[in-house]
Structure 1
């Protein structure tokens, strides 16, 4: 065998091995891969819920609570982007990834509603409309949190 075909064979073999190693290292939506984004979203929704609770009790300003909700929305968007990049190769992985994305979407919606309610309730939680909006958002955040907690339990994420 001449030197050129042997070198080509060595290079091709190397590329096949490298490709196999990289494929094996690619992120897949296992419980381990979802743990960090799920915990990030869990912390974000709980922080926003606390901001709403503090606003309802008139223990913080609308601006501070709205800023918290907006910041937490950014954290959820970051975690969602991370999960979107995970490749699902099996049906179980696709279901887990889709469930996580659905839970994150519910939380994003709830955070958007919280931010809007907190911004519009600058008159204070003691006015009727502001109180109603905040109470509604508080319930929406709780439902979204329960959905995420259920997913985390299902996936074995502590």
Structure 2
């Protein structure tokens, strides 16, 4: 697993994945404490954190199906949204593997009969998985085609 020390390194990795899978990619950047979503208390015009660092957040949206977007936070984590299902707190180093798993069709929806429920399961390296609860009404055609 590659270590992605910065938001820009993660964006570069996602651009590479987009090229590998022939996907369009759109990237927007928010740089500065007054621009990033988790630092709204920084105040207007305050661009650096108290430690002197310049926080960098990026939003990446892939074209095609499944609909997939990634919000990379300056705190070494990400929010990945697959077909409207939010998968929060993904480690930045796991983002490329997560995206590849979805694009390689390894992600699936596990249906549970009792109590009823559905979960998006995304395999990650090292025999790990990310498991996210899905509201029943959120089943899109892409997700419905992956129910096990």
* TM-score for both structures, normalised by structure 2: 0.27
Question: Greater Rg, structure 1 or structure 2?
Answer: 1
Which structure would you say has the larger RCO, counting Cα contacts within 8 Å and 6 or more residues apart?
Answer: 1
Q: Report the structure, 1 or 2, having the larger helix content.
A: 1
TM score, norm. by length of structure 1 = 0.26
